[in-house]
Structure 1
Amino acid sequence: MKKVFLGTLAMAVLLSSCVSQKKYADLEAKQKETQDLLNSATVKLNDCLEEKATASSRLKTLEDQNAFLKANNQELINNMGNLTTLTAKGAENLEKSLESLREKDLTIRKLQDAVTRRDSVNLALVQSLKGVLGNLDDEDIEVSVEKGVVFVSISDKLLFRSGSYNVTNAAKEVLGKVAKVVNNKPDFEFMVEGHTDNVPYASGVLLDNWDLSAKRATSIVRILQKDFGVDPKRMTAAGRSYYVPLASNDSAGDRAKNRRTRIVVLPKIDQFYNMIEEGMKDPAIGGSGN
């Protein structure tokens, strides 16, 4: 695999009462750090692939040169006594080139294996979610993978009544199916994001769309925790207000698309980036080796 994809975690969040601002800020900083690391890995991987192509071309030239030298070795030795040393040096350089090429191939395979394992984990997760959720032709539920991260997007009308943050009974059935998958995969962490349209909102203690989106996110995590036994340490609740829209908000249909709750699943991200970081230390691709 020539490119490494990773999920971009949308993190400009207002955490609810059950999730501290510091925890969300740490999560946002971690996402930026891991994104920077992935960008660096991608650049170095591309450089490594280019170096491999150059080394392969050089190897072919050296092999041809070595074959020529061997075929004419005796005649050249008779004419120039010191050419034996030069021939030995050429063979030594060829061996070094072969070894360098083998090291680069090994490093590339390690990085590609890390990406493949991550993609395999995501594929298994998506298949599990699709299996329990059933008919995904329903436009109110969507399971997708974007930049190496799995998302479950559930429309507002399926989860809440208009202007409310109380989860409907029908929505609890859907959430129970999602909980079944995540409970079977205890190494996963995930974030529940509330999204609204841009219509101004205020009701009771809720001041605006920030409050509504955050309150809806915390309602979801409470259901997952209390009704379905999901470990609260694995969950983050976040309100995104109307600042990350899917559509323009210019029509009722577009506004309906923007009113949604999104579950962002993070499977073993630290482990994946640790593999990338260790690979980048390999001297064969220009790392420090420290």
Structure 2
Amino acid sequence: MKIKYLLVAAVLIMSMQSCVVLSTKKYKAMLTQRDSLFTRNSSLEAQIAQLQADTARLHREIAGLKGNIEDQKGSLAALKASYDALNGRYDALNNNLTSTNSKVNQLSSDLQKREKRLKEVEDILRKRDEATNALKDKLQKALLGFQQNGLSVDIRNGKVYVSLTDKLLFPSGSIVIDERGKAALKQLAVVMNKEADINMAVEGHTDDKRIRNLGQIKDNWDLSVLRATSVTRYLTEVEKIDPKRLTATGKSEYQPIDPANTDDARTKNRRIEIVLSPKLDELYNLITK
């Protein structure tokens, strides 16, 4: 509106300055100029109004953007806090993972060592079983003629047991080996002198009847020990088996083969058992590593 008033004032001034009566042509030119100025003024006013509207809109948008920026700053702060927390957890998890990997590697190494040792033990036990079966076969062939007279060869718990009834070795109530017993022990010694890595335990066993009138032999303990000692002396002194390989023990009546209260059971229980076991130094050393 100010521009409009200024234009009108300019026209009036120009009219007042020209005291001379204007010609029709100049008058029309002035009217045309006035109309042009009014038209331009209207255009400028429209542009100003649009600029003012745009300015107001931009102010609103700027205010909205400022609010949005503040919101984004808040979100960014929250995300940073979450990131820091997650980063802390990641570091902790990474440390745990490193520790776990170290433990897994150690356990894997230990497992490989144990598997290797297990295989070595299994190989030794397999060889022992093969040797035990081979020894049993040799003894059965060597003692074949005595198996009808109360001698048996079998395997128990990885050991070879040669069982000889008392009637094959001793007269009744005696600790002196008779000729049939010596013949059986001689055949056993032939095999054992070729098997230097086999230890021998000579065990004396009795039945559960109490001993009476046997002079120096007081009870079944004495009888079982003295008979085991007699067999051990014969094998070492006569058949020349290395004494370091033998032990002699008495079991009395307390490890019967047949616990029945019959004469047949008591006959089975009165026996000498020679327990043959391979030296297990290699296995012992492996286990105690």
The whole-number CA distance in structure 1 between the counterparts of 2:231 and 2:147 is 23
Aligned partner of 1:286 in structure 2 is none
Are residue 110 (structure 1) and residue 109 (structure 2) matched? no
Sequence identity, in percent? 37
| Offset from partner CA, 1:202-224 (integer Å, 9 cap, x none) | 31111011111111111111211
1:277 deviation in Å?
2.6
3-state SS, counterpart of residue 138 of structure 1: helix
**Do 1:160 and 1:167's aligned partners in 2 also have CA atoms closer than 8 Å?**
yes
Aligned partner of 2:234 in structure 1 is 223
Aligned partner of 2:169 in structure 1 is 159
1:108 deviation in Å?
3.2
1:91-130 matches, cutoff 5 A: 105-130=115-140
The whole-number CA distance in structure 1 between the counterparts of 2:146 and 2:288 is 37
The whole-number CA distance in structure 2 between the counterparts of 1:199 and 1:268 is 36
**Do 2:138 and 2:191's aligned partners in 1 also have CA atoms closer than 8 Å?**
yes
Aligned counterpart for 1:149 among listed residues 147, 152, 159: 159
Residues 130-139 or 206-215, more deviating:
130-139
Provide TM-score, normalisation by structure 1. Answer: 0.59
The whole-number CA distance in structure 2 between the counterparts of 1:103 and 1:212 is 50
| Offset from partner CA, 1:222-277 (integer Å, 9 cap, x none) | 21122211122221111111011111240000000100000011211233222233
1:121 deviation in Å?
1.9
Q: Which runs of 5+ in 2 are unaligned?
A: 1-93
**Do 1:130 and 1:136's aligned partners in 2 also have CA atoms closer than 8 Å?**
no
Are residue 174 (structure 1) and residue 184 (structure 2) matched? yes
The whole-number CA distance in structure 2 between the counterparts of 1:189 and 1:212 is 23
The whole-number CA distance in structure 2 between the counterparts of 1:100 and 1:234 is 37
1:99 deviation in Å?
7.1
1:201 deviation in Å?
0.5
Report the CA distance shift for 1:154/1:103 in structure 2 as closer, same or farther (over 3 A).
same
The whole-number CA distance in structure 2 between the counterparts of 1:221 and 1:105 is 42
The whole-number CA distance in structure 1 between the counterparts of 2:225 and 2:118 is 43
Are residue 134 (structure 1) and residue 144 (structure 2) matched? yes
Residues 106-115 or 117-126, more deviating:
106-115
The whole-number CA distance in structure 1 between the counterparts of 2:111 and 2:285 is 24
**Do 2:158 and 2:277's aligned partners in 1 also have CA atoms closer than 8 Å?**
no
| Offset from partner CA, 1:136-190 (integer Å, 9 cap, x none) | 7537111122111221111111111111111110111110011111111122221
| Offset from partner CA, 1:9-60 (integer Å, 9 cap, x none) | xxxxxxxxxxxxxxxxxxxxxxxxxxxxxxxxxxxxxxxxxxxxxxxxxxxx
| Offset from partner CA, 1:66-117 (integer Å, 9 cap, x none) | xxxxxxxxxxxxxxxxxxxx9xx9xxx7x96987775554343222112112
Report the CA distance shift for 1:173/1:99 in structure 2 as closer, same or farther (over 3 A).
same
**Do 1:165 and 1:215's aligned partners in 2 also have CA atoms closer than 8 Å?**
yes
Q: Which runs of 5+ in 1 are unaligned?
A: 1-85, 279-290
Aligned counterpart for 2:244 among listed residues 233, 243, 246: 233
Aligned counterpart for 2:281 among listed residues 267, 270, 281: 270
Residues 141-150 or 252-261, more deviating:
141-150
Q: Which stretches of structure 1, 4 residues or more, deviate above 4 A after TM superposition? A: 95-105
**Do 1:142 and 1:153's aligned partners in 2 also have CA atoms closer than 8 Å?**
yes
- Rg bigger for which structure? 2
